[in-house]
Structure 1
């Protein structure tokens, strides 16, 4: 497997100079499905934002396939590393416009995509085929957001609490969709507050607490037999006396 992302001693501080992330080092290999858990405010969303380069570290280094982020064009990097948020933002225009925005070299401007190349009638169905959703999407905003992120065929997909506001049926559908994307070769990093979900869908689990990755391993190791006291306390608090099954 190829090493896609290398994270080297990353530090990110808040506006008061307090560390949000404090010396994180990790690597993401091609084809991995990593779920990321941890206490609220531990820096999980900030961590994803750094990988997508929506924010910059105060110190440390990130690399994509060995190339430092600072040497890469931001838009080109984001085409390789897509990101979907908890609350999807629908941009002005039609569903088709939202999908074309994902292909646009200028963020938020589907006209740039139209001017760059002809709109092929088969473009939306092809994008739709990757998401496994019927077309048109109607009010399924999260699926549109996923489709928009997939328009550039990213190698890595970052998910930040993408099912937190969904009902159980929609949550299960999104879980199945993401698992199919992974089976088709997409590398996934999924921040989830739902520990049962994180255990079920991921191949590996990282625990972020206090701005550091305090534990990582197979979900059965992390959830059933956690080694770090912070992980033990977090899982015990989240699940009470109920075992993680």
Structure 2
């Protein structure tokens, strides 16, 4: 048990140091002559890197505002959906508060490459601590049992980080309602705030696709900005 605890601490130190190293490696380089900045980005799936140059084009700056008020039609629609559920709205609100707390602590899933690297690091730690058998001196059954226990230990250590990420599964109308209660307002505010940038150039899209989590927050944010001037809204 003491060995497992030590390996757990060593692995968490390695994971934190590795994450910190990744963050500092993907930095910005600024050219003081023309005010441009080179952004180095990394595709975690393929490992490929690219450089994007950003430059201030001198666009008119607009002070972005958001008053925190949701569209009245969205509020009415949400209320109708809540009252059609089998649970009392107060109970749904309580579930939404708990879900919101859970969502605030979630991280993005690790890439397959990161998981393999983390598992390999655990194996190295176990080996360094004398946790590997001499495979030539034990039977096949002992080896199979040892490999099974080793995988269990590795999986347990991985669960202490984001390597054990799983998607949320909303199977019922009530689950969906609780999620919408938890995330509709903040998601709407985020999208609404970003879309204000388009006020700089008067851009109006022909179609809008709300490919989000299903709450419709992006649709309502877009509709508040452009209304029926957009030819088609898709959810």
For the aligned pair, the TM-score class normalised by the smaller chain equals under 0.3
Give the helix-richer structure, 1 or 2. Answer: 2
Name the structure, 1 or 2, with higher relative contact order (CA <8 Å, separation 6+). 1
Give the strand-richer structure, 1 or 2. Answer: 1
Tell me the TM-score normalized by structure 2.
Answer: 0.25
